[in-house]
Amino acid sequence: MIATAANLAWLATRSRAAVRFRRQLHDPAGTQQAVLRDLLRLNAASEFGRRHGFADIRTPAEFAARVPLATYEDLEPWIDRLRRGEPAVLTTDTVMHLVPTSGSSGARKLIPFTARLQREFDRAIGPWIADLYGRHSSALFGPAYWSISPAVGVAKEDSAVPIGFDDDTNYLGGASRRLVAATMAVPPALRHIRDGETFLLLTLVCLLRRRNLRLISVWHPSFLLLLLDALPRHWDILLGILRNGRLPAALSVPAQVEQGLRLGAESTRVRELERIGPNEPSRFWPKLAVISCWTDVQAALGAAALARRFPRVAIQPKGLLATEAFVTIPFEERHPVAVGSHYYEFIDEAGAIHPVEALARERIYEVVVSTGGGLWRYRLGDRVRVTGFVGRTPSLQFVGRAGDVSDLRGEKLSGEFVARVVKALNLSRLEPARFAMLAPASSGPAAGYALFWEGGVPPPAGEVDRLLAENPHYAWCRQLGQLRPARVFSISAGAEAAYFRRANADGRKLGDIKPAPLVQTTGWDSCFNGKFLE
């Protein structure tokens, strides 16, 4: 009853946003110009705004002429000043948090989060939620599972601005945050669990209790598959917890987690689960209406696997959302650009830059955003294809990352970051490698990476895994078991020759072949002479 009331209240507050967004979709140019005017006016007094003459900019063309395209590395010196506590650096808004995410050239980026950025996110979340519940109205009448992100243990950092969120619902503001919390099948307290297996176990406890579960929202579908695959090995423990209404003495969890679980004996539910067994998840939640997850590129196989396991449940493809910005939202069975949230530009494959209203069907573009968090003409690194239009606004499909990034399970390992890992490994060896390359060891359920190494004594696999885990997304995928531990393949001789033969056989001209620290193809163990180290 509480979840239903909260869902209905949240939908009521979001319906107006959906009406406004539908109107904006018919005038993307006017909407975007208004967004840009507000961003420039509100931030003209920031140091970045003064340096780039925000107060004198009148048109998108003038904005593009005065403000250069930027990567995180270009903005990092400004963000370092925010960490030291300097006000009004990139925006006039106070920076409430610096949110960590994976970087293209390093292990981590810190993205400024402000009240203005929170409102921009809310402008996208509102229409998405209204559309979701409008199309799947039965999802209103019960709890939802919104995937929880555990707090990652990091050393204390010298920063005047808090790094990271205590709770993912911080992305929402005020009443919305409280309403979402009331619908959650898994309490936010689980974020305090650091052990991946314990986290999976207690998440399953919470979900199995909720026979009336209506909505599951995760990011990569492999995470939900990981939960389901954990059921057989934990089944007896799960039923014991539900039957007795308490955790086993051997399971040590923080006090706030145990309090947040609010366990009680569930004898009727246990008898039902015993009849079903651990291998038919579609029968656990007979009222489940929709699963929201990524479905594009590397997520496509996982989404198809979920559809097979839940044949009567709708799979809703998520929009394109990064820590930095919303790009698209699911709306009217398409994925239009969230034109009312941030200011967008798009780089075509020839390098020309276009506003949102000028995009052409079936063309591929790289996304550039300017946000209330202080990211100005920021190259997000995502590449998208125009698949159609909602009103006059393009609907986009994610097709991959610009540049050299491997992303099997959401880990976002970049070539430049892997090169730094290889450099660190070489510095720790008496004899540096003659050849070193990281590649996916598999793209199936047991996805992971292998370091192919020729020369001297190869590094231990644990050291490779530790350095890769400096990327927070890789660390979390490893902690949950979405990625298996990195392995090391010791090449006896002839690595570069074998690499060239494979690349040439794949259709690349010999003159164009350049060995790289990161490749995204598999099957390299059959190309090199050597073996995996135990």
pLDDT of residue 156: 61
Residues 339/25, Cβ–Cβ less than 8 Å:
yes
Task: Report the percent of the chain where pLDDT is more than 90.
Answer: 57
What's the confidence (pLDDT) of residue 79?
95
pLDDT score of 256? 84
The residue that leads in pLDDT, 258 or 288, is: 288
| Calpha distance 357→340 (Å, rounded) | 13
H-type alpha helices, 55-173:
60-66, 72-83, 115-135
Whether the pLDDT of residue 425 is over 80: the answer is: yes
Report pLDDT for 510.
47
For residue 239, what pLDDT is reported?
Answer: 96
pLDDT of residue 178: 65
pLDDT tens for each residue of 57-108? 999 999 999 999 999 999 999 999 999 999 999 999 999 999 888 655 556 7
Question: Which pLDDT belongs to residue 199?
Answer: 87
- Tell me the average pLDDT across 121-141: 91
Q: Which residues, other chains included, contact 304 with Cβ-Cβ below 8 Å and sequence gap of 6+? A: none
Write out 183-250 in H/E/C secondary structure: HECCCHHHHHCCCHHHHHHHHHHHHHHCCCCCEEECCCHHHHHHHHHHHHHHHHHHHHHHHHCCCCCC
**Rounded CA separation 286/281 (Å):** 10
Question: Residue 451 in contact with residue 488, Cβ under 8 Å?
Answer: yes
Tokens of 20: 């406004």
> What are the pLDDT digits (tens) for 151-193?
554 456 788 898 876 555 555 655 556 666 667 878 888 878 8
Cβ(361)–Cβ(397) below 8 Å: no
pTM: 0.82
**Confidence bin at 509 (pLDDT 50/70/90):** very low
pLDDT at 474 over 50: yes
What's the mean pLDDT in 37-57? 98
**What's the mean pLDDT in 252-273?**
89
Going by C-alpha positions, the residue among 40, 108, 48 that lies closest to residue 72 is 108
Which of 3-7, 221-225, 392-396 shows the highest mean pLDDT? 392-396
Does residue 486 register a pLDDT over 90?
A: yes
CB 216 within 8 A of CB 204: no
- Interval 321-347: pLDDT, tens: 988 999 999 999 999 999 999 999 999
Mean pLDDT of the chain: 88
Residue 433 has pLDDT above 70, yes or no: yes
